[in-house]
A and B are shown apart, each in its own frame.
Chain A
């Protein structure tokens, strides 16, 4: 952790809001990206990110300043996202395509769980497709894959975020990667026109 960040955290521990605002500005994009890729909904991702920062502030006394702040913060964000996914998890998969329809799933018919039309335009088609494939991964593979490939973190850092041995993280990345490959290939109809 760089010296400036150490100084900021020292101030935050004394209750300095402005110092905390600097930390929020430093990490808000990464935190929101993790949450978005985990839950797949922008509005929810922003709420979760805010919650993650508020929790970080309220628990800053427990943070060990010799460690990396981002690792600790990303752990909070990942855990909040997983909790939110579990709370919502229905007994029937809403992602499953309704038989006889072209790509129509139950969750596209439910209010609140849909991507608003104007956002659909903003979110490019490719991005939507990738997001859908990430969303199809089980939680534990999903978080490992997101931290590794979307956030570009090292396996060691991911193991600290998830508090798991590096070997376990590797296994999760391998399985997630293989599942992603298989699903992406199938959803593209086996054609080799995956966007570069």
Chain B
């Protein structure tokens, strides 16, 4: 482009981006009508981008989606959720069993613990006593 005046290059960009005002468009097109090199430049810019829009989307292999799914981590959480939704009674029962059994274990320990502790210290005293 021989004439290229920065003003027209920036107007071309504005017009191509859709940012130009009516006044700016008119100014550019008035110039293009009189300047062959700018006119050619503008047409080339337009054509080289318009042609990209005609590129076809690539053909994907038929099992593309299937291949992606096969590589995902297993649906663990989902399976558990579905199971609990289908068997709410068993699920609730299972959840209740845990604290109940803990309660039983704790109660059992509390009953036996002080007694055993007392016996232990008694034996210990007794042993030291018999040695002397």
> Which chain A positions have C-beta within 8 A of B50?
149
> Which chain A positions have C-beta within 8 A of B65?
21, 24-25, 28
| Interface stretch (choices A9-17, A70-78, A95-103) | A9-17
- How long is the Cα–Cα vector from A119 to B126 in the complex, in angstroms? 95
Say which residue of B47, B57, B58, B72 sits within 8 Å of A196 (CB atoms). Answer: B47
> Which chain B positions have C-beta within 8 A of A180?
48-49
Say which residue of B13, B57, B75 sits within 8 Å of A16 (CB atoms). Answer: B75
> Which chain A positions have C-beta within 8 A of B13?
170, 174
Is A82 part of the binding interface, using a Cβ–Cβ cutoff of 8 Å? no
> Which chain A positions have C-beta within 8 A of B75?
15-17
A58 touches B52 (CB 8 A): no
- How long is the Cα–Cα vector from A15 to B55 in the complex, in angstroms? 35
Number of interface residues of A (CB under 8 A): 48
Is B77 part of the binding interface, using a Cβ–Cβ cutoff of 8 Å? yes
What residue in chain B is nearest A35 (Cβ atoms)? B58
> Which chain A positions have C-beta within 8 A of B128?
none
Is A177 part of the binding interface, using a Cβ–Cβ cutoff of 8 Å? yes
Say which residue of B45, B52, B73, B81 sits within 8 Å of A150 (CB atoms). Answer: B52
Known: A16-B78, A21-B65, A181-B45. A127 touches B58 (CB 8 A): no
B16 touches A177 (CB 8 A): yes
CB distance from B67 to the nearest CB of A (A): 6
Given contacts A50-B71, A133-B48, 15 further A-B contacts (CB under 8 A): A14-B78, A21-B68, A33-B57, A42-B58, A46-B60, A53-B68, A145-B49, A146-B52, A149-B49, A149-B53, A178-B45, A181-B44, A184-B44, A195-B51, A196-B51
Interface, chain A (partner B; CB < 8 A)? 14-17, 20-21, 24-25, 28-30, 32-33, 36-37, 42, 45-46, 49-50, 53-54, 57-58, 127, 130-131, 133-134, 145-146, 148-150, 152, 155, 170, 173-174, 177-178, 180-181, 184-185, 194-196
Q: What are 30 inter-chain pairs, A to B, with CB distance below 8 A?
A: A15-B78, A17-B69, A17-B78, A20-B69, A20-B72, A24-B64, A28-B60, A28-B64, A30-B57, A32-B58, A32-B64, A33-B57, A45-B58, A46-B58, A46-B64, A49-B60, A50-B64, A50-B67, A54-B68, A54-B72, A130-B51, A133-B48, A145-B49, A145-B52, A146-B52, A150-B52, A150-B55, A184-B48, A185-B44, A194-B47
